[in-house]
Structure 1
Amino acid sequence: MNQKFQTFKKSISGKKVAVIGIGISNTPLIKFLIKLGANVTAFDKKSKGQLEEVYDELEALGVSFSLGDHYLSNISHEIIFKTPGMRYDIPELLEAREKGSTVTSEMEVFFELCPAPIIAVTGSDGKTTTTTLIHKILKQEGYHCWLGGNIGTPLLSEIENIKENHKVVLELSSFQLHTMRTSPDVAVITNITPNHLDVHKSMEEYIDAKKNIFLHQSKSGKLVINFDNAITRDFEKEAVGAVVMFSRQNGLERGVFIQDQSICVNMDGSTHKAMDVADIILPGMHNVENYMAATGAVWGLAGAESIKKVAGTFTGVEHRIELVRELNGIKFYNSSIDSSPNRTMATLNTFNQKVILIAGGKDKNIPYDEIGEALVNNVKCLILIGPTGSKIKKALEDEVQRSGKGKDIPVFICSTYEQVVKTAYSNAVSGDIILLSPASTSFDMFKNFEERGKVYKGIVKGL
């Protein structure tokens, strides 16, 4: 029996609880809290009409609501679950704390109650694929595994079903980590580059949020970090537990590294081969790095046979360099997950030919200067949409002026995704690749990158 959960169950019964945000993850949370006997009020900027059937479903369970533009004006509940993307220091939450409210999140409570070992992954790029790989490798090894965090099922509502001998694998964003004071048993940081600076006040705050994934580990914990990334490499000196470095670009005496075209591991003074790089069917060297990070996380729990089996069968996660269709010799790819310039640069390097690139979206106040060289070297036609379109266009123009290359790359500015796809298709010939890799978040037009990818795929399939 999970004694921590039993104590939590008793403590929350009858309490006035606020849940901010009525979305994919918070709807199961609200139902779970109602089941435990809490008096729940759901807060959301949306109206009753916008929430549609979700409102009716939750109202039938006895949930109260605070909706609309001033939805947080009367928040003063005993316990407040904030949505991950909301800053902890907004005036309404600061005032609620002063009045005695406890402000927490689903993930913070899950960490407190979870009886099973937790492996968690964060990073600016590659965290979803790496998390998925770890989950698949552990399942291949025979463990009962749970997948959650930013992907999979919201796990707090499943806490009664998670046992001590299970494994939990989580993808965690900087938003989820920002106020965390508990760290997982195994922490993985794929890399850190500028990201989410529209929410975080500075790059330093963004880095500090990421560091919470390992700062609260015990000496028995393990931290897996990217040696090739200057920011993550520097975390070694702050680690409490064991540190495992992985490197695709440098030879390491210990850690996870490439030797004779094989991914090798040395954690005990002797070198073991995990698999050949050629065993990985996912395209791109960035995916080799994802496998190296995953290998570092599971080594000691899973053997080389399970790692190699997954490498030879896993074809990728939806919206990540996903082949949508081939029409008249033109291949359409969907990589809507690419919400930063770094991700798009890595995706462009996956292909051995120049592509027709669709990019642009919400501006996160991050620099786009570095993408210019990748555009000049890897793009034959550029289709732009959204607020960051002008930044991406300027990055291309600056690189053309600097290098003298890429003067013949046509640039089109579009206002709808229908126009984007049609413009790309009309400028393509047989043998071309059309790639959606936005280098920006989706929130200017869509709920999330998944919706953006689905809309794109729907239009492409309708051609």
Structure 2
Amino acid sequence: MNQKCAAFFEWIRGRKIAVIGIGVSNTPLIRLLAAKGARVTACDRKSLTELGDLVEELMSLGVTLKLGEHYLDELDAELLFRTPGMRPDIAPLCQARERGVTVTSEMEVFFALCPCKIIAVTGSDGKSTTTSLIAALLKAQGKRCHLGGNIGRPLLPDIEKIEQGDVAVLELSSFQLMTMRRSPDVAVITNVAPNHLDWHTSMEEYAGSKENIFLHQDENGLLVLNADNDYTRSYAARAKGRVLLFSRREKVDDGCYYADGWIRRVRNGADAPFLRRDELHLPGDHNVENFMAALCAVRGLVSDDTVRRVAADFAGLPHRLELVRELDGVRYYNDSIASSPTRTRACFASFKQKIIVILGGYDKKIAFDDFGADVVRNAKAAVLIGVTAPKIEQAIRSAAGYRTDTPILRQATSLEEAVREARALAAPGDVVVLSPACASFDMFRNFMERGDRFRELVSALN
């Protein structure tokens, strides 16, 4: 164990530590803190019944549970871990700071203690695929790689196993980055577009949180940016270290770009073709961008042969333009990850034909005005569900080029009904895609559950 870890675990022994949120990211953290001798209080709005079997386990570890409506009242701790989805400026946390409580997060402590190189990825779209690609490239090169963060696995509980020669590869959300005061050795920003405006106070705050991934780098840091995105391109001027750019539209001075069917690399003044588009297994033009971002991030760490091998084999992640099945000549794709209009635009661009798309869900306060025109241009039909269905329908009907039944519009009260409607509208040769352009929280716990349900429904068609 490195000295920083040893000192931290020695410090927490016997101290009062509160953890807000008993969920996927914090439950392993609670176990770790309790095992190291801290006096842990786990706080959550959930009830004993909702926590289920986890209650008995946590109580057996000596963890005090503070549950229900008043779970944030009078937080008694010296160190407090907030859950990523909780705003850091809510009154109970501000009051805790005024009492001298240190408010932090699992990711902030991981950055402080991690002994190895950190590569981290953020962005509005494509961050999970890019993060996974980077990890796949490093592992294929034979490096010991630890993949985690917003992609679903906290890494602080594994900190004692991480060695100096390893590489930690992290996906970071704007929620995690908002209070970060450290940056990774290699920072990647895939793009920035309106998202999570139901949580962030403004687009400026959202975009500003993304900047924390590189603002604390020094001259040895590497920043990888999307040259085609207005926000990310502007970040280059504030970078302290080296900047590599990737682009699908134009040549870059240092990094990667796409032209004439080739992914090209530019380095040390040399511009050369590196990989043909048809050698990349991933579908969609947006995945060309994700691959170029990953290629820049691992420069100097992975051989060309390894890159080509991974490019040919890496098939992507579930819920991202995932082919579910073909039935009666109709292909059904699960793109449940598309929780914003920009993601669904990427879905549209992945098909040469007009598609039948299932749209709608939870309202993140993102405007759909411009998106309506995208649907008109790219959809044969749109089946609308969820809270945002009326807003999306209005945007489509108001868009230039809309004519009655072009595209065909249907509303459905559930995903089950939407799948039935889509099937009824489809003819041999058509493509049906769940690409909602919205979050899932009005009907499902997360986009994975939504995608799993879509997969079940489509697989059950006969």
**Category of TM-score, reference length = shorter chain:** over 0.9
C-alpha displacement of 1:67: 1.2
Find the aligned partners of 1:292 and 1:191 in 2 and give their Cα distance: 13
Paired position in structure 2 for 1:116:
116
Residue type at the aligned position of 2:10: K
Change (3 A) 1:427 1:398: same
Deviations 1:302-359 (A, max 9, x none): 1221111111111110000001122222221111111100000111110121111111
Find the aligned partners of 1:202 and 1:195 in 2 and give their Cα distance: 10
Find the aligned partners of 2:381 and 2:220 in 1 and give their Cα distance: 51
Paired position in structure 2 for 1:251:
251
Paired position in structure 1 for 2:456:
458
Change (3 A) 1:426 1:403: closer
Paired position in structure 2 for 1:326:
326
Deviations 1:190-242 (A, max 9, x none): 01011111111011111110000000001100000011111110111110110
- Comparing 8-17 with 370-379, greater Cα deviation is found at 370-379
Paired position in structure 1 for 2:442:
444
Find the aligned partners of 2:71 and 2:153 in 1 and give their Cα distance: 27
SS in 2 for 1:19: strand
Find the aligned partners of 1:389 and 1:296 in 2 and give their Cα distance: 39
Matched, 1:311 2:314: no
Residue type at the aligned position of 1:242: R
Paired position in structure 1 for 2:70:
70
Paired position in structure 2 for 1:357:
357
TM-score, normalization by structure 2 = 0.97
Residue type at the aligned position of 2:147: L
Residue type at the aligned position of 1:164: Q
C-alpha displacement of 1:295: 0.8
Paired position in structure 2 for 1:88:
88
Q: 2:429 aligns with which of 428, 431, 442?
A: 431
C-alpha displacement of 1:445: 1.8
Q: 2:376–2:401: 8 Å Cα contact kept in structure 1?
A: no
| 5+ long unaligned stretches in structure 1 | none
Residue type at the aligned position of 2:161: N
C-alpha displacement of 1:152: 4.6
Q: 2:16–2:76: 8 Å Cα contact kept in structure 1?
A: no
The root-mean-square deviation of aligned C-alpha atoms, in Å, is: 1.3
C-alpha displacement of 1:253: 2.9
- Comparing 379-388 with 199-208, greater Cα deviation is found at 379-388
Q: 2:16–2:78: 8 Å Cα contact kept in structure 1?
A: yes
C-alpha displacement of 1:382: 1.0
Paired position in structure 1 for 2:415:
417
Paired position in structure 1 for 2:168:
168
Q: 1:227–1:245: 8 Å Cα contact kept in structure 2?
A: yes
Paired position in structure 2 for 1:278:
278
- Comparing 379-388 with 181-190, greater Cα deviation is found at 379-388
Percent identical: 51
SS in 2 for 1:312: helix
Find the aligned partners of 2:156 and 2:17 in 1 and give their Cα distance: 15
SS in 2 for 1:435: strand
C-alpha displacement of 1:404: 4.5
Residue type at the aligned position of 1:233: R
SS in 1 for 2:244: strand
Find the aligned partners of 1:88 and 1:368 in 2 and give their Cα distance: 29
TM-score, normalization by structure 1 = 0.97
Alignment of 1:367-378 (within 5 A): 367-378=367-378
Paired position in structure 1 for 2:50:
50
Alignment of 1:156-195 (within 5 A): 156-195=156-195
| 5+ long unaligned stretches in structure 2 | none
Q: 2:248–2:259: 8 Å Cα contact kept in structure 1?
A: no
Residue type at the aligned position of 1:181: R
Paired position in structure 2 for 1:103:
103
SS in 1 for 2:333: strand
Q: 1:107–1:176: 8 Å Cα contact kept in structure 2?
A: yes
Q: 1:275–1:304: 8 Å Cα contact kept in structure 2?
A: no
Deviations 1:253-279 (A, max 9, x none): 322112443222223222344322221
C-alpha displacement of 1:448: 1.2
Q: 1:124–1:195: 8 Å Cα contact kept in structure 2?
A: yes
SS in 2 for 1:271: strand
SS in 1 for 2:454: helix
Matched, 1:340 2:340: yes
Count of residues in correspondence between the two structures: 461
Change (3 A) 1:22 1:224: same
Q: 2:20–2:82: 8 Å Cα contact kept in structure 1?
A: yes
Q: 2:376–2:406: 8 Å Cα contact kept in structure 1?
A: no
Find the aligned partners of 1:404 and 1:126 in 2 and give their Cα distance: 30
Paired position in structure 2 for 1:403:
401
Change (3 A) 1:286 1:65: same
Q: 2:122–2:188: 8 Å Cα contact kept in structure 1?
A: yes
Deviations 1:4-54 (A, max 9, x none): 000000111111111111111111111111111111111111111111112
Q: 2:376–2:402: 8 Å Cα contact kept in structure 1?
A: no
Find the aligned partners of 2:267 and 2:396 in 1 and give their Cα distance: 44
SS in 1 for 2:212: helix
Paired position in structure 1 for 2:60:
60
Find the aligned partners of 1:355 and 1:4 in 2 and give their Cα distance: 54
Q: 1:274–1:308: 8 Å Cα contact kept in structure 2?
A: no
Q: 1:121–1:171: 8 Å Cα contact kept in structure 2?
A: yes
Find the aligned partners of 1:280 and 1:318 in 2 and give their Cα distance: 17
- Comparing 39-48 with 256-265, greater Cα deviation is found at 256-265
C-alpha displacement of 1:405: 4.8
Paired position in structure 1 for 2:198:
198
Paired position in structure 2 for 1:299:
299
